[in-house]
Amino acid sequence: MRKSLLALTFLLPATAVLAQSPEDAVKARQGYFEMLGAQMAVLGPMAQGKIDFDATKAQIATDNIAALAKVNVAPLFMEGTSTDDMADTKAKPEIWSNMELFGEKATAFHEAAAEISAAAGSLETLQPAVGKLGGSCKGCHDEFRAK
């Protein structure tokens, strides 16, 4: 999985550049968030005590999140890719009308993602880091993602 994620991390910037149509941008954006979600699907249950803590799996997932957070996804949020424009997206038009707040939410995500790799060593350090990262995701979803 790690090699696949690494390959996708290198492909995403190229995909973003090639995302010439709104449909391509939405597909690439959704793929990016699916990769983040896959990592959170490993970390969330560990942090909640629903599955046993595994430091190796936690480290891989946190490293993947940190790597994904370095990808510039701005080109994937091109004009014309909101729920007002397309049926296959959950991106609310408020993203483009309140870009300042959207940027603040993105910054919170990037800060939490930058710190998470260092927290993978134990359940005691992982739990608050996953909570902070999950909170940053929720903050953006509550504001900018359609249900």
Nearest to 134 by CA among 104, 112, 119, 103: 112
CA distance 97 to 117: 33
Residue 7 known to bind ligand: no
Residue 10 known to bind ligand: no
CA distance 93 to 8: 27
Nearest to 105 by CA among 59, 63, 60, 73: 73
**Contact present, 14 and 47 (Cβ < 8 Å):** no
Rg (CA), the chain: 16
Residue 141 known to bind ligand: yes
CA distance 134 to 70: 17
Binding-site residues sit at 137, 140-141
Binding-site residues for heme c sit at 137, 140-141
